[in-house]
Structure 1
Amino acid sequence: MTNPGGFWIRLLGMILDALLISGVIGLSIFLFNLDTSAQTVQTGESVLSILYFVLVPILWHGYTVGKRIAGVRIVKKDNTEVSFFTMVLRYILGGLVYGLTFGIALIVSAIMVAARKDKRAIHDFIAGTYVTRDRPEEKGTAARA
């Protein structure tokens, strides 16, 4: 594991991703005149978020839009790219752990990222991942992702 991304840069990426998803959902609500109290809109928001956080890193070398802007990406502990199973563990199972502990595990994760040398959170341990500032490599050279 090399060049781990710390607390503040990861937080920046998360905030940027939240703004992007909120913007897409807000624009959809406005354009299609959707009832925001409807269960369909809330379910759609959840599905969009899950798809975004699970699929985008798989398709884009561990980046989400927010992480790309912040200059960090998710990789497996052995520095290989993430898979569908890895991202399901990281995002969905990690999210369940945070929810089942009423957010206490989330606070512990934030402290872990701030204090640990490897900057890994609970969801990173669950999925066998970490967040790095290193760019992906293509055929032995740095990629232009």
Structure 2
Amino acid sequence: MMGKNPAGFWIRLGANLIDAVVFAVLGFLLALILGDQIGQNASSGIQFLYGLLLPVFWYGYTVGKKAVSIRIVRKDGTNVTFWTMVKRSLLSGIVYGLPFFLGLIIALVMGWSEMVELFTTPVPADPAAMDMEISNTALSALVILFGGGLLSFILIAASAIMIGVREDKRAIHDLIAGTYVTRNSPGAASADSYEESKEIF
């Protein structure tokens, strides 16, 4: 694993914070130029494409990763492809967010009739006369929503722990995409990959 030279938790967190600062500044500028809503939407779209495409064209680097000299590579040490980044960004995002999304859908389905009743019932002149009792169905929906969010948080936390404790420093999204984050430069990674290929053959 020494030849792969994997990057640990703190340096990867540092890279992500640098990228976050870059997009905080970009979002602020776009909001000034285009207005709040359009600027936020434009910033979100650019940020998504940035994370998806930049590593494909820049040897696995983003601005933050380049600043701390780490990059994303495939498991064999070669450069990431578009499909690799789709798995790492989109599929992994679905895996992380799926428990919360399912919890939200179930909660909405369970509580739909009560929400409709809440928004269509006229507000009484005397607020004290309002029925503030929460039904078992609404309570169950809130518990399911909270449970889904908690499971998504646990998955994200598990990924952070995996980076800290695994020898190869691979998180859930790395396992899904077949990637790892390395401190090696592109030339060093190529040499490492060549040595591994010699061992195979």
Shorter-chain TM range is: 0.7 to 0.9
Q: Which one of the candidate residues 83, 86, 101 is aligned to 2:84?
A: 86
- For the residues of structure 1 that align with 2:30 and 2:40, how far apart are their CA atoms? 12
Percent of aligned pairs with the same amino acid: 48
Letter in 2 for 1:6: G
Deviation at 1:42, TM superposition (A): 3.9
| TM-score, reference length from structure 1 | 0.87
- For the residues of structure 1 that align with 2:164 and 2:30, how far apart are their CA atoms? 36
Structure having the larger proportion of residues in helix: 2
Deviation at 1:29, TM superposition (A): 1.1
Letter in 1 for 2:5: N
SS at match of 1:130: strand
- For the residues of structure 2 that align with 1:41 and 1:33, how far apart are their CA atoms? 5
Q: CA RMSD in A?
A: 1.7
- For the residues of structure 2 that align with 1:57 and 1:81, how far apart are their CA atoms? 9
Structure-to-structure mapping, 1:21-40, within 5 angstroms: 21-30=23-32, 32-34=33-35, 36=36, 38=37, 40=38
Larger of the two Rg values belongs to structure: 2
When residues 33 and 41 of structure 1 are mapped into structure 2, their CA distance, relative to the original with a 3 A threshold, is closer
Aligned to 2:174: 124
SS at match of 2:168: coil
Deviates more, 1:111-120 or 1:96-105: 96-105
What are the ranges of 5 or more consecutive residues in structure 2 without an aligned counterpart? Answer: 100-151, 192-201
> How many residue pairs were aligned?
136
When residues 51 and 33 of structure 1 are mapped into structure 2, their CA distance, relative to the original with a 3 A threshold, is closer
| TM-score, reference length from structure 2 | 0.64
- For the residues of structure 2 that align with 1:105 and 1:44, how far apart are their CA atoms? 28
Aligned to 1:64: 62
Letter in 2 for 1:129: T
Q: Which one of the candidate residues 47, 50, 58 is aligned to 2:48?
A: 50
Aligned to 1:14: 16
- For the residues of structure 1 that align with 2:95 and 2:179, how far apart are their CA atoms? 16
Q: Can you list the C-alpha shifts for 1:54-94, whole angstroms capped at 9, x where unaligned?
A: 11101110000000111100000000100111001101111
SS at match of 1:131: strand
What are the ranges of 5 or more consecutive residues in structure 1 without an aligned counterpart? Answer: none
Q: Can you list the C-alpha shifts for 1:78-135, whole angstroms capped at 9, x where unaligned?
A: 0010011100110111112111242221100000000000000000001000000000
Are residues 1:3 and 2:5 paired?
Answer: yes
Deviation at 1:33, TM superposition (A): 4.8
Letter in 2 for 1:62: G
